[in-house]
Amino acid sequence: MVTKTEMPNPLHTELDLYSADDLIDVLIEDQRNALKAVWDSREKLAEAVRQALPRMRDGGRLIYVGAGTSGRLGLMDSVELYPTFSWPKHRAIALMAGGSRAIGESIEGAEDDERQGASDILSVKAAANDVVLAIAASGRTPYVLGALRAARRAGALTIGLANNPDASVVTEAHIGIVLDTGPEVISGSTRLKAGTAQKIALNSFSSALMVGLNKVYGNLMVDLRPTSAKLIHRSVNLTTHATGASDELARRTLESCGFQVKVAIVALKRGIGVTEAESQLAAVDGSVRRAIAK
């Protein structure tokens, strides 16, 4: 059966005759369908966040599973959670068909190995508090389905993302999210708008999840991990913006608490020491807003 993502696009049957200007126009315009597809799935994405939150609060992990472009997008989302939200690295795992080699090259046949998908899930000991995101444009990739089925047997919450309606990844997951992007401008090249839709959906899911886990104050990313000079500078800016303190005072307070922006904000807003600020945050599950209001 030919899926929608693999069908030739009837609007651009002579794509190879287009000028460079027309090619760029068409390729960009078609990306609008990616945003629409994610928008249409927003209720399912919100439900996924609601069901994932209590599992994350109980110590669960996010486990991303995919092959090819889908696997790399899952990997990207997983690795960005640590510097952005201080999400522990061991609680954001990316499994890819073909293993780490597949990050930079195509591993022939890896995506067709359903047993390996199941084995990889078993190797990370997926359990009831874990959330497994199974990502496949076609929705029928054997590696991803093997992982999804093994995750369900292990009791993990499974979230399936696919770009084709009624695909197995969607129908077999606890929460199936259809990102119906239709045929690609270049037939079957799901690195185009199908991939864009997956990226938006994953960004939206993980960002909303982190907000729910008190990683954001207002709209400020106050639980970032300053792993570079740029992020140290950003930490100072976030602290001054949230508290009105001078750059000098903000930096001095940040230095005294290992550049924990949340701690510095509470200390400065409450006029207390950083040790007391840490205790206040711990008592309210890391919520800056609640710690300030105490």
Active site residue 43: no
Give the DSSP letter of residue 7: S
| Active-site annotation holder among 6, 47, 80, 172 | 80
The angle formed by the CA atoms of residues 111, 115 and 117, to the nearest 5 degrees, is 55
Taking the alpha carbons of 173, 97, 150, 75 in that order, is the dihedral positive or negative? negative
Query: In angstroms, how far is the first alpha carbon of the chain from the final one?
Result: 60
Which of 6, 43, 108, 111 is flagged as catalytic? 111
Burial 135-166 (b: 16+ CB within 10 A, else e): bbbbbbbbbbbbbbbbbbebebbbbbbbbbee
For the record, the structure tokens of 242 come out as: 């949230």
80 is catalytic: yes
Distance CA 209, CA 277 (A): 24
Catalytic residues, by residue number, are 80, 111
